[in-house]
Structure 1
């Protein structure tokens, strides 16, 4: 059994403590995210997994973490699932604590969802992206219609030999008779959290859909899978601009089963190819927000120039206060409307609703639109199709409405934010129609 290294803790902006470990001393930093539950110290008791860690640690400085809500990290209330950007903030906090400026992000199975979002939102911190065995849930495919209906069975079998054996038979069939692996998986489930906490992590897996942001990933990307595994990936080389697909022999989905050397060799070759490569920093994933005051001309005519200017100043103060609270960035103020950008869609939605309600207390109504997509950075501002779509969504909103695109809604699935489908809308100047949703609750 390999001796586990020291576990340290990083503190996120919302006060969550995230456990992490750093091993190895290679020339590049490597972030490794396992599928959906983990235990930093227990992982070293699985010989093959420990060998993989040592191998990666010889290629670079290996950084691993336990997600919030599991194992050695702080827990959350299972009835209130964390947002995607909160989970990505965990990665940022760990990298900051570890003194890491840029990483090659390797996501195993569903760990690839968080790594994909991180690469799209923070290209300056991502030297490259590796997706090993990406699962269909990441792309909104094969999602159970009624997740809640599976809960009783999940809770009954959590951390039992029965459930662990099913995991091995499904993901690691070549090790189906390995009782040590079955026992290790059973113990990892038990150590990672209660049955309720385990189900919350599973719900995050099946609800997190990053298909809409894949075209916004502009870092070199390698997709690796075993050619006879249950879940071949979709054609990600047509969805991610700089992606290369590599199939290696085998039928096991789990990296710790079958011959793990070919996948690791592909990882290492990819990492070596990144040497000296400069990142593309002119494009980034952002959530844009557009606000517009309803009936501003009528307000100005009724109040007169001086009172209207005073009211407008109070409006601007409210918007800027909430932008600061929700980590938004003011891009432009055209007349009486704001154009702002956020690094996470849930924060943008909560900011929009808070702004709408606060401005209502001033006797003003707002139309607000939100969209998440690839934006081009230009002289401190943003431009591109995503910006245009966000502006048109705002123009489509009725007084008092906060409208979002389907991309935004998919990215915050499971966050507790409620939506009402308002149907498919044609947006002026946008080639394709978009399904829009009204924010009903936060």
Structure 2
């Protein structure tokens, strides 16, 4: 797990470095902010439909081999982009095509690497492993954004793509040496249970969709995470406008806010790694708290007060993300986890494509402050409404208690099978 985490830290830093450089490169080629946003949408778009296929592939193929091949392919795309940038025949169409290929490979790589990391620890430590993954992701994002400017300034744009290619190869090289942990307790599940778990499973995408649609925990998690993704979280847009507009700050001020968000995300991931049995209720409570903090941030009269509010906001939302990921990855049975993550990838991509335009429209109507306040309050209100509806739903009938007088013959052996001296005596009968 230590080797895996170290390799993923390098890979995450490389990925965020490439994403930062890609935005700058598209902006340099086209001079259009809209084209820059389109390049990000093109890379995310394959996940809308192909995540279902990718999740089914992860359930069907050996996980270590799948992750190693997908990482190697991502490295090959990064090296190809580096060569094209260095030779200078790269147009925006080719760059977007390469971004789409990267997004397509990621539909398999994402669930494969997530589940492979969970395989490296005992079942009771999976929440901690997910927390470590969130910590690695946050730290890699912070490091990658900083390294991007340094690499481009010293070695050029092509070097950033080449460095990302090397980071993928770093992960691919570590995977063959990983040893999955034994099941909890050191024993394998009984053969009968194993057969029952896989019986009738054709590893089809339909089963993943059906399981997701029938599971109230996953549906509630999707609802909470979806409204948070659409009305919040897009702080690169909302806080940037707030800082540079009403608060009269510059790019340096927004950089400070971004750094505080990243540090808060790291601290939240550390706290999230300590969760042992997170629940959807906890995810909802944290999302509501984050929404209220977002509303307070929208009302901040100064940059200093905004920084005070942004820090706990980032911590709360990072813990919420870690708890939600744990629920998502541990709720389905092992045979369905790849496909359920595939369904989640499609849903998350839909939020990613819907959120920024919806939030941009809200900002046009209400301004940056209004969008933050209204979005935060709506998140908290939606979570509260969902909680109240859940409490009002009639509970499932509880199983009948075992009668003290033993009126449930199915719960005890037949008298002929029990020696007379060992038969239970009803209440009130002579001993």
Q: TM-score range by the shorter chain?
A: under 0.3
TM-score normalised by the chain length of structure 1: 0.26
Q: Which has the higher strand share?
A: 1
Q: Which has the higher helix share?
A: 2
Give the structure with higher Rg (CA). Answer: 2
TM-score normalised by the chain length of structure 2: 0.26
* Larger RCO: 1 or 2 (CA < 8 Å, sep 6+): 2
